Amino acid sequence: MGLFVSRRRMAEYERVRQEIRELQQLAQREGAEAAADGSWWLMRRCFDEMAGGKGWYAPMTLNAARVSFGMHAVSGQWFIAACSSLSFSAAVATMDAERTKNGGPFPEVFLPDIQLMAELSVEVAHRAGVPLVGFLVAEALTGLQMSDRTIARETADVLAGEDSVQRVRALRREVLEATRKLRSTSGAKGADSIAALRVMADEMLIRNLDEALDKLSKGHILSGSSNVSAVLAASRTSRSVVYIAPGANAGAAIRLDAPETGRELCVSVELPGLRGDDVRNLLQEMHAVLSSDEPRKKVRDRAVRQAHAAVTEAVWKPVLAAWPALLGARVALIPLGESARLPLYTAPVDDSGTPACGLMDLTVAPSGNALMFAGAWPRPSAVDPLVVADPWYEDGEGGRPIPCTVPEAREVAAVHGVKPLIFREAARAADAEDDRDRLRGLTRPPGAPSPSGPAPQELADLMSSANLIHLAGHGFLDPQNPLESTVLLGRPLPLSALLGHDLRRGTTVVLSACHLAGIGSRLPGEQLGFPSALLAMGASSVVAALWSVPDSEETVGLMTAFHGQLARGASPSAALGQAVTRAAVGGARPALWGSFTHFGA
């Protein structure tokens, strides 16, 4: 029987693959519109088989939905493209459930398509007039991130409680009422109408809410329901959650608000200047300067100003024109795909030059699930700091001394009344020339480790015992193998060495080093890097830099000002926003403050 089933499945797989090939050939000969209807019905047939209990149809549904999405998006048939994205995410969820049950890894061959769909579905959903679809698809697909997987193991004790249950019930009532209104309209009766799609999205969310309520009432972990997690995050953190996504024709932003705000749950706005190709070109130009060892201050500052101006025009101006109430409010950005590498936190919102983080209490998160987890833990009532510095550098090419890390550690530690841990007392290097920067980053992987300082295991143990951690040293980002990205403190401390550890819940981590807010380039949507990993380990806040940080007295002043605000009771996101804004308004070089970003709650 097993052999017969296996042969039958292989025959079905091959038949669907052949139909997809024929549709693609038709599209090449006569255009996407000629093959669009056929791709839609193929996807519907595969989806019906999968929904009817044949979970093994999920890979075929995923491929058929991907083709249908592409053909209908190219043809401007936004409704059907949005429906296809929902089918795609349902297939991914089915495959993921099978993977979890069988204990195997999710097939990597599908990951590039998943990352692309997470971005493009937002634009399509906006154009279809159903932003909730974009939110559902984006959160369902970002829920596959490794950091979100790590988070799932810890959520039971913070989510199982009357507070979370009440919040989810309130959301369910709101969505159910909206669905009833839509069903009562004539437009919702047609099988292929925008109103029908809205009902479909609402019903999908209601099912997820029901599953979440069942788990919460039993004290179970709320994993696999990341769209519910995102709404809980908006409620728990009192933030508007804004998804930023590049698109094929234009980008889009989706705003999510908690039910108790009285605002509409999910709305969207077009970002005409955030086409995917434009984002990639901007990043290539920016990082050609800022992620290299380019030392000239004027060159670096000009690259930052150009990047900030582009982000202001492409993101902040249209977002705030649509939603001016965000100014002065608490906002969490979830940038999808490569937009996570843009300086969204520090770019001005208009021509005044004031950074976004100075006009709203702003933070960035890898996903709604990560934001919920970061906001689940209370801030510690007493601070237990760990301040570490090392001017360690390679003797060969690729590194240089960064002596200002040592006075930075001493001044930061003094703010909190503790002694810093200095791994090496190196003689102060000669000051850099006036027109050149010393940078806290390496352009090549760290070489042989210095014999001084503890091994990575010991430093990770020290970090686990603190709730305010400040690390000042060289940073190295490995975009192809992000788990090997490293901060150099005594010895190289790679990200992979940290992942086996937990942090105290509610911890704030400051990475005063180059590049460590960066993400991998092989699958940019994964957003795997130090911030997402540290949030998954239990941190509530992570401060890190998107590109090279100057090793200068001005950097010392920025970090000391940030910790001073913390010591006076400001939240980490507000403290960094105040410190960055003071530096910007005071005329400090943009390369000094422009790269720092607050991640978490």
DSSP state of 537: T
Which string of b and e fits 119-129 if b means at least 16 CB within 10 Å?
A: bbbbbbbbbbe
Q: Inform me whether the pLDDT recorded for 17 exceeds 60.
A: yes
Domain boundaries, the chain: 1-103+110-142, 379-600
Alpha-carbon distances of 519 from 294, 416, 599, rounded to whole Å: 20, 31, 13
Q: Inform me whether the pLDDT recorded for 314 exceeds 90.
A: yes
Query: What tokens does 354 get?
Result: 């004031």
Q: Is 527 left (phi over 0), alpha (psi -120 to 50) or beta?
A: left
Q: What is the pLDDT of residue 307?
A: 95
Reduce the DSSP state of residue 82 to 3 states and report it.
Answer: helix
Question: Hey, how many other C-beta atoms are within 10 angstroms of the C-beta on 447?
Answer: 15
- Looking at per-residue pLDDT, the higher value among 311 and 449 belongs to 311
Tens-place pLDDT, residues 338-380:
898 899 999 999 888 899 999 999 999 988 888 888 887 788 8
Q: Residue range 273-286: average pLDDT?
A: 90
- Looking at per-residue pLDDT, the higher value among 408 and 230 belongs to 408
Note the CATH number of domain 379-600: 3.40.50.1460
Which string of b and e fits 396-414 if b means at least 16 CB within 10 Å?
A: eebbbbbbbbbbbbbbbbe
Q: Inform me whether the pLDDT recorded for 183 exceeds 80.
A: no
Q: Which amino acid is at 113?
A: D
Question: Hey, how many other C-beta atoms are within 10 angstroms of the C-beta on 2?
Answer: 6
Residue with tokens 């190219």: 74
Please give the Cα distance from 324 to 414 (Å, whole number).
40
Percent of the chain with pLDDT over 90: 38
Residue with tokens 């519109």: 33
* Best mean pLDDT range from 106-110, 223-227, 371-375, 385-389: 385-389
Q: What is the CA radius of gyration of the chain?
A: 25
The pLDDT confidence band at residue 214, using thresholds 50, 70 and 90, is: low
Q: What is the pLDDT of residue 143?
A: 64
Judge whether 91 and 59 are in contact, CB under 8 Å: yes
Please give the Cα distance from 47 to 152 (Å, whole number).
28
Q: Is 538 left (phi over 0), alpha (psi -120 to 50) or beta?
A: left
Q: What is the pLDDT of residue 220?
A: 44
Tens-place pLDDT, residues 465-493:
999 999 998 888 777 777 778 888 877 88
Q: What is the pLDDT of residue 180?
A: 61
Judge whether 345 and 355 are in contact, CB under 8 Å: yes
Q: Inform me whether the pLDDT recorded for 427 exceeds 60.
A: no
Q: What is the pLDDT of residue 322?
A: 97
The enclosing H or E element of 335 equals: strand 330-335
Q: What is the pLDDT of residue 514?
A: 82
The pLDDT confidence band at residue 288, using thresholds 50, 70 and 90, is: confident
Please give the Cα distance from 495 to 8 (Å, whole number).
44
Q: What is the pLDDT of residue 396?
A: 45
Q: Is 230 exposed, middle or buried (0-12, 13-18, 19+ CB in 10 A)?
A: buried
Q: What is the pLDDT of residue 54?
A: 85
Please give the Cα distance from 184 to 198 (Å, whole number).
13
pTM value is: 0.86
Please give the Cα distance from 59 to 233 (Å, whole number).
31
Q: Is 564 exposed, middle or buried (0-12, 13-18, 19+ CB in 10 A)?
A: middle
Which string of b and e fits 303-314 if b means at least 16 CB within 10 Å?
A: bbeebbebbbeb
Tens-place pLDDT, residues 246-262:
998 899 999 999 878 88
Please give the Cα distance from 346 to 422 (Å, whole number).
30
Least trusted range by pLDDT, from 42-56, 334-348, 405-419, 449-463:
449-463
Task: State how beta strands 539-545 and 507-512 pair.
Answer: parallel
Q: Inform me whether the pLDDT recorded for 527 exceeds 90.
A: no
Q: What is the pLDDT of residue 515?
A: 81
Query: What tokens does 359 get?
Result: 């006009």
- Looking at per-residue pLDDT, the higher value among 263 and 477 belongs to 263
Q: What is the pLDDT of residue 390?
A: 86
Q: Which amino acid is at 306?
A: Q
> Distance of alpha carbon 495 from its chain centroid, rounded?
17
